[in-house]
Amino acid sequence: MVEPTTFDDFEAASRATLAYLHQRLGFDLWMMTRVEGSDCLVLQAENHGYDVEEGTVFRWGDSFCSQMILGHGPRVVPHAQNVPLFAASPIAQQIQIGAYISVPLASTDGSLFGTLCAIDPSPQDESIRDELPLIEFLTRLLGTVLFADLKAAKQARLLERSQQAARTDVLTGLLNRHGWEQSVAIEEARAKRYGSPACVLIVDLDGLKQVNDTKGHVHGDALIRSASNSIRSVLRENDIVARIGGDEFAILGIECDAEGCEAIFKNVTNALLSNGISASVGKALRDHRLGLFEAIAAADRAMYVAKAKRRTRCSREHP
């Protein structure tokens, strides 16, 4: 029987590469990381001595890698103490680093995705520098696999949406609660695999019950449809929006960092206001350590805080 010569996905290819590099070059810890804002998330690790696990988050600015990216240090350092900036860095005060390797992994647009890096507590022979072309080559290959995976994930999202009739809210055409929960579970698995940033917004319409009670459900339904259209009109293609309750909507911002989350928040609130719709909106970023479901709970809490502030303000203006 012929041994398989392909990998199922980026995660499998990354693990195999890290294991190969450890076998060939030693080093107690090899990592594939994702850089997101001030965080450096360990996606995969080949660990033989350090207290580092997959999912560990470091401060990016504390790392040797951040200095390397800025051009303040080389990609291969056989004796870390011989590079003053590395020796004085915060990470060197936390863990013992005698030797270091790091190669950046760039996104298709040229921005930094993360790094393939290694550390060892002991200094290494100077000949380790000769291995840099091989490590750079393997990193480029991993980048090809990674971005093919990410493209496939985008296409899978489109397919999922084309098959979502049973998960659709009849009134608005958005996902219903069941569809929302399924989509969140899928995106959480992807976020764990690729370290992707994401955010959640919860939108609660103000006064829907009053509209239903005073003007009738036809007007209430029109308000819900108008809110749905307003929200959907300002979201990006990859973002997910659902009607998860009578007067409540949920938004999942895909590949969305803090700046992107704030942009979605402003766009949604402005779109609602421009159509005369009053709503309370809460937002939260996905924390790599806690996941999307906790982000949903945090956004929900933030929405209730916003609603309480709105009621207090209204009571003061109209005693």
Q: Got the DSSP string for 122-163?
A: S---GGGGGGHHHHHHHHHHHHHHHHHHHHHHHHHHHHHHHT
Task: Give CA separation, 235 vs 37, 67, 188, 238, 257, in Å.
Answer: 22, 36, 20, 8, 15
The per-residue pLDDT for 311 is 73
Where residue 219 falls among pLDDT bands split at 50, 70, 90? confident
Is residue 287 over pLDDT 70?
yes
The per-residue pLDDT for 37 is 87
The per-residue pLDDT for 108 is 81
The per-residue pLDDT for 316 is 55
Q: Where are the beta strands (DSSP E) in 37-181?
A: 39-47, 57-59, 76-77, 99-106, 112-120
> Regarding the domain delimited by 164-317, which CATH topology (the fold level of the hierarchy) does it fall under?
Alpha-Beta Plaits (3.30.70)
For residue range 134-173, list pLDDT tens digits in order.
999 999 999 999 988 888 888 887 777 666 666 888 899 9
Percent of the chain, pLDDT > 90?
Answer: 62
In which residue ranges of the chain is CATH 3.30.450.40 found?
10-151
Q: Which of 106, 55, 90 is nearest to 287 (CA)?
A: 55
Mean pLDDT of 49-57: 90
In which residue ranges of the chain is CATH 3.30.70.270 found?
164-317
The per-residue pLDDT for 7 is 81
For residue range 173-194, list pLDDT tens digits in order.
999 998 999 999 999 998 988 8
Is residue 301 over pLDDT 90?
yes
* Mean pLDDT for all residues in the chain: 90
The per-residue pLDDT for 309 is 84
How far apart CA 40 and CA 172 sit, in angstroms, is 39
Where residue 3 falls among pLDDT bands split at 50, 70, 90? low
pTM of the model: 0.74
Least confident of 22-26, 109-113, 284-288, 303-307: 109-113
How far apart CA 259 and CA 137 sit, in angstroms, is 33
CATH hierarchy code of domain 10-151: 3.30.450.40
Mean pLDDT of 210-220: 82
The per-residue pLDDT for 230 is 96
Is residue 24 over pLDDT 70?
yes
For residue range 61-100, list pLDDT tens digits in order.
998 899 899 988 899 999 998 888 888 888 888 889 999 9
Where residue 211 falls among pLDDT bands split at 50, 70, 90? confident
The per-residue pLDDT for 5 is 67
For residue range 110-122, list pLDDT tens digits in order.
889 999 999 999 9
